[in-house]
């Protein structure tokens, strides 16, 4: 940190130029943090309406005063070799955060932000061993297998390595990245703000865009793998197809295939980090007869050229809204087949580059990136959660859930009307029949303005069948196409498929879950499957906002605590109690009864064929953080037996 103070203060011209054009609120927060003087920050508070930089209208006089003061303070810290001040009190942090977002930040969020932002002296998501270091026996006879090297598997690998727990990651692709390896379609990117879509332990200060594209995200994940030395632990080109728990030994036998050769790996703990990446392929009659290429956004073929082609795009969800505008200038004609419209709203930053001045501040000014992360976290997470809760007394239940939800509905409709140029017929086609957040609220990628083009047609009639020449709708009309693009998402409820996983008493995960009814305690532990943990599991998907990486970090911290409990307690197995597991899932179901997904107008991949919500989380982020903060050993069956050597059957 002292090096940063020195570097910033030695570049006075660059420092002043960057501060003059960078976002002002992070600067005010840094100044308040370093000086413990909140005067200027609280003077700016009335001019701040939220965490997004476009909601901040700080007067130039305050900005200039803060800039001059911060330059002096940075110089003072550098010249006097001053350490960072002690962690501000919770009350001070609450005042700072509330002023910076223009509203009261509840006190329950302060401990979460201390951890997420790593404001304190320690990374509290790493595990602490009772004796200060991992027991020596770990290296001899304990092994963890992680399935998948996407965002969840990488996070698990980092934390296992930091803890000194032996592990191996099995990844079926030939590079890390998970969903960002599989999804490579034109326009593919994140709809979570980039600075929030990064690990708390390795923030990326060089994001080029506020909402980054696939290649930059994949590069970031690869950099994490290199930075934390995970390459030596990852076996690429390895597909896990079966895993069985041996009750007598307290071990998992993991069957996997590599270069066509089947191998066996035995381990004490198995962690699945396989995500929700099974493409959902619509059952369309005649699709095999189509004479042109058929693409799916989750398995894109870069070899198929779209230039000058008539393209049919099936699906208008997240991937459809990204790929359509990305290819429309290339193709001759784009015909879009919509089953259900989606609510989508513009964000002024969606297509914006991060300014060079902001990047300079992220890299050179202590605490600047940290406080910027707070602002984005607040803007893109729990502040909208209340809009998802059904008000039983609301007088317009067919349209919306409550007053706030209805206000959002009207705001989005006004936005769509403007983007569609006042075309009321197009507006009718684009307006969902369910309330906002019934499906994930999407970012408008210039989708609505694209629909106004003469070479684009939006079809809301159902698809009857496919012919060699195109798509026939329920009206009997043939829409000719050279290429079909399926932007139809994933079969998310069929979690962990096609792996065949068998727990105690020979029961498989499919016996317990069926094809579409996954359940887990806190989204990570399944009764009947000892020493087995699921990352990005049932009822952990965020719909109201937030970041998948935040959820995963919370889950990984919980799982690492469970592993520590196993090792330090000498337990052969830990397994969530059935009653605890079932009580938690009844609680989840009861929470969902009062939320948007239970609205009669909502159909979604979040729900299974029995109308049970299996994928989305009903919790605010602060709730899920609190739920997973401590491993609750009383909710588990912990058994001690003599361990077998986990390494004896490890293949090379």
Counting Cα atoms < 13 Å in the Cβ hemisphere of 456 gives 20
CA–CA distance, 639 with 245 (Å, rounded to integer): 15
Region 75-95 average pLDDT? 94
Helix axes 90-101, 368-379, angle to 10 degrees: 70
The predicted-structure confidence for 400-433, as pLDDT tens digits, reads as follows: 999 999 999 999 999 999 999 999 999 999 999 9
Q: Check if the beta carbon of residue 529 is closer than 8 Å to that of residue 554.
A: no
Helix (H, G, I), strand (E, B) or coil at 73: helix
Predicted local distance difference test score (pLDDT) of residue 343: 96
Of all residues in the chain, the percent with pLDDT exceeding 90 is 86
Counting Cα atoms < 13 Å in the Cβ hemisphere of 148 gives 25
Predicted local distance difference test score (pLDDT) of residue 652: 40
Predicted local distance difference test score (pLDDT) of residue 589: 96
Which pLDDT band holds residue 137 (cuts at 50, 70, 90)? low
pTM: 0.95
CA–CA distance, 449 with 373 (Å, rounded to integer): 31
The predicted-structure confidence for 41-72, as pLDDT tens digits, reads as follows: 999 999 999 999 999 999 999 999 999 999 99
Q: Is the pLDDT of residue 490 over 80?
A: no
The predicted-structure confidence for 626-649, as pLDDT tens digits, reads as follows: 999 999 999 999 998 654 445 444
Q: Which two tokens stand for residue 475?
A: 């009206």
Q: Which two tokens stand for residue 456?
A: 């684009």
Region 393-405 average pLDDT? 96
Q: Is the pLDDT of residue 151 over 70?
A: yes
Q: Check if the beta carbon of residue 253 is closer than 8 Å to that of residue 244.
A: yes
């Amino acid at each position: 940190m002292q090096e940063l103070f020195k570097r910033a203060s030695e570049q006075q011209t660059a420092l002043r130029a960057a501060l003059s054009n960078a976002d002002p609120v992070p600067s005010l927060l840094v100044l308040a943090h370093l000086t413990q003087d909140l005067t200027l920050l609280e003077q700016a508070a009335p001019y701040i309406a939220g965490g997004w930089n476009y909601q901040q209208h700080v007067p130039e006089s305050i900005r200039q005063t803060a800039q001059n003061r911060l330059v002096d303070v940075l110089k003072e810290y550098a010249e006097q070799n001053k350490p960072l001040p002690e962690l501000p009190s919770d009350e001070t942090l609450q005042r700072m955060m509330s002023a910076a977002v223009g509203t009261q930040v509840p006190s329950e969020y302060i401990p979460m932000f201390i951890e997420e932002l790593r404001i304190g002296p320690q990374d509290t998501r790493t595990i602490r061993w009772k004796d200060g270091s991992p027991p020596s026996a770990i290296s001899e006879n304990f092994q963890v297998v992680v399935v998948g090297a996407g965002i969840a598997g990488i996070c698990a690998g980092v934390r296992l390595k930091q803890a000194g727990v032996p592990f191996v990651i099995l990844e079926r692709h030939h590079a890390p990245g998970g969903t960002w390896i599989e999804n490579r379609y034109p326009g593919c990117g994140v709809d979570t703000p980039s600075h929030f879509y990064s690990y708390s332990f390795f923030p990326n200060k060089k994001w080029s865009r506020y909402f980054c594209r696939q290649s930059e995200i994949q590069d970031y994940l690869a950099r994490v793998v290199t930075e934390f030395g995970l390459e030596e632990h990852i076996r690429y080109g390895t597909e896990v197809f079966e895993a069985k728990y041996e009750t007598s030994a307290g071990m998992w036998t993991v069957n996997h295939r590599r270069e066509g050769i089947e191998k066996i790996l035995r381990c004490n703990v198995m962690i699945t980090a396989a995500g929700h990446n099974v493409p959902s392929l619509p059952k369309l009659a005649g699709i095999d007869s189509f004479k042109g290429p058929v693409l799916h956004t989750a398995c894109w073929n870069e070899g198929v050229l779209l230039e000058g082609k008539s393209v049919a795009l099936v699906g208008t969800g997240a991937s459809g809204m990204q790929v359509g505008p990305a290819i429309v200038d290339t193709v001759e004609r784009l015909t879009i087949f919509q089953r259900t419209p989606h609510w989508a709203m513009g964000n002024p930053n969606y297509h914006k580059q991060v300014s060079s001045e902001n990047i300079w501040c992220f890299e050179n000014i202590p605490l600047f990136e940290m406080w910027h992360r707070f602002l984005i976290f607040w803007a893109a997470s729990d502040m909208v959660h209340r809009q998802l809760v059904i008000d039983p007394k609301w007088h317009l239940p067919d349209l919306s859930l409550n007053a706030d939800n209805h206000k959002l509905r009207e705001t989005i409709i006004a936005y769509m009307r403007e983007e569609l140029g006042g075309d009321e017929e197009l507006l009718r086609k684009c307006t969902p029949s369910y309330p906002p957040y019934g499906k994930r609220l999407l970012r408008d990628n210039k989708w609505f303005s694209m629909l106004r083009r003469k070479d684009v047609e939006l079809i809301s009639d159902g698809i009857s069948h496919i012919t060699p020449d195109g798509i026939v709708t329920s009206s009997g009309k043939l829409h000719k196409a050279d290429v079909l693009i399926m932007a139809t998402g994933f079969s998310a409820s069929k979690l962990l498929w096609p792996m065949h996983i068998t727990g105690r008493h020979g029961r498989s995960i499919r016996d317990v879950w069926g094809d579409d009814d996954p359940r887990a305690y806190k989204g990570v532990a399944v009764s009947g499957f000892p020493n087995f943990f699921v990352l990005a599991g049932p009822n952990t998907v965020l719909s109201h906002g937030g970041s998948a990486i935040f959820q995963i970090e919370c889950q990984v911290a919980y799982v690492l605590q469970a592993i520590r409990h196993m090792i330090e307690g000498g337990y052969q197995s830990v397994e969530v109690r059935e009653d605890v597991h079932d009580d938690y899932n009844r609680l989840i179901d009861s929470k969902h009864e009062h939320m948007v997904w239970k609205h009669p107008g909502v159909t979604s991949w979040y729900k299974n064929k029995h109308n049970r919500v299996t994928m989305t989380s009903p919790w605010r982020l602060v709730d899920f953080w609190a739920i997973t903060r401590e491993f609750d050993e009383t909710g588990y069956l912990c058994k001690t037996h003599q361990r077998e050597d986990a390494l004896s059957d490890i293949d090379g």
